[in-house]
Amino acid sequence: MSTLTPNPSEVKFTPYVPAPDEEYMSDAQLEHFKAILLDWKSQLIGEADRTKNYIQDESSAMPDINDRATQEEEFALALRTRDRERKLIRKIDKSMVEIENDDYGFCETCGVEIGLRRLEARPTATQCIDCKTLSEIKERQNQGA
């Protein structure tokens, strides 16, 4: 059973190539990202269904205590992974709302364009690379790293 979270790079799409005079976050660009996000969400939901079926199918009482412990650890790992994916689905839904409200693709901190390539790599990104870098530096400083 796969416990890896699908990521945007596993979602098959053709990188968007804007026209020379195309405005940032045009309708075509928004549709491009909407398709990526919906496909990603669909993959995550599919993984959740597979995990549910796997646990239901494999949760038979095992006579050996070591086998049972191993199985329970596998289930716990799968459920932790699905919990992270559930949080990711919420981020995808938030990005979909931003698309509908024409707020998608702009940094929530400084308001500049996040950029097409960054969004293709991380469709749920809410900060430009500069603000994200500063945020990570501050986080490391707060943690004493």
**Residue 40: partners with Cβ closer than 8 Å, 6 or more residues away:** 6, 7, 8, 11, 92, 123
Question: Annotation-wise, does 22 bind a ligand?
Answer: no
131 annotated as ligand-binding: yes
Asked whether residue 134 is marked as a ligand-binding residue, the answer is: no
User: Is 1 annotated for ligand binding?
Assistant: no
Query: Is 16 within 8 Å of 32 (Cβ atoms)?
Result: yes
Q: Among the residues of the chain, which ranges form H helices?
A: 27-58, 65-100, 116-121, 129-143
Radius of gyration of the chain (CA): 19
Residues placed in the known binding site? 107, 110, 128, 131
Binding-site residues for Zn(2+), please? 107, 110, 128, 131
